Amino acid sequence: MKTIRTLAIVVNYHAATLSLEAVRSVLCSRSLGSVQVVVADNSADASEAAYLRKHLPDAVELMVNAENMGFGRACNAASDGHDADLILLLNPDARLLPDCLIRLQQTLLSSNRIGAVGPQIYWDRGKGYFLPPSYPPMLLWIEPVVSIWGPYSRLWRLLSAIWRRFAVGIWKAESPVRVTNLSGGHVLLKKEAIVTAGGETLDINL
């Protein structure tokens, strides 16, 4: 049976202490197969890079960029040269719970029709509050138009009710739910799906 290889990428921008916590959460997570962690430092700050070099575990690769490349380009650069089956993108202010990664991996690998998965996201460390799911692309187009009539218009209230129902459904779900888009700040992707979608690199545009 093939060993699953996962590449985890954390893009740092003047958030070294947070990035270290994010990295530790990945390294402490249960997982299928091996996990390689890369921190891409976009800070363009020698002290930030020095702090990361000093405190990152030896097994973690640090890529220091000469300028702020942006999230997408930094992820592309960090993925170059790594032959991984799965790619995890994780914001520096995000933390994986111990069983999060393995559950994401199991879900992603459960069907050839699944190309990317994201977790339920808590706002607080006490896990008392969920963050809303990512806005569907269509809603991002409609919202500016609807806002012309103000937040008390019938159409606005209708859209708000639809969105609340969708979000609550996501929060209450006990099994994977199909969605139109996921947040790039905490998402696990199949490398083969990335290649099928358009290239050998991540080619992320967020």
pLDDT tens-place values along the chain, 206 residues long: 578 999 999 999 999 999 999 999 999 999 999 999 999 999 999 999 999 999 999 999 999 999 999 999 999 999 988 989 999 999 999 999 999 999 999 999 999 999 999 998 888 888 888 887 777 766 666 667 666 766 667 877 787 788 788 888 888 888 888 887 888 889 999 998 888 876 544 444 33
Q: How far is CA 121 from CA 69, 93, 125, 130, in A?
A: 26, 12, 11, 6
Residue 185, both tokens? 């700040």
Residue 68, both tokens? 């702020």
Pick among 1.10.3720.10, 3.90.550.10, 3.90.1150.10, 3.40.50.300: CATH of 5-118+182-197? 3.90.550.10
Helices 137-146 and 154-172, axial angle in degrees (round to 10): 150
Residue 109, both tokens? 């690998």
Helix (H, G, I), strand (E, B) or coil at 103: helix
Q: According to CATH, where is 3.90.550.10 located in the chain?
A: 5-118+182-197
* DSSP code for 149: G
Taking the C-alpha atoms of residue 198 and residue 55, their distance in angstroms, rounded to an integer, is 36
- In three-state form (DSSP H/G/I as H, E/B as E, the rest C), the secondary structure along 132-173 is CCCCCHHHHHHHHHHHHHCCCCHHHHHHHHHHHHHHHHHHHC
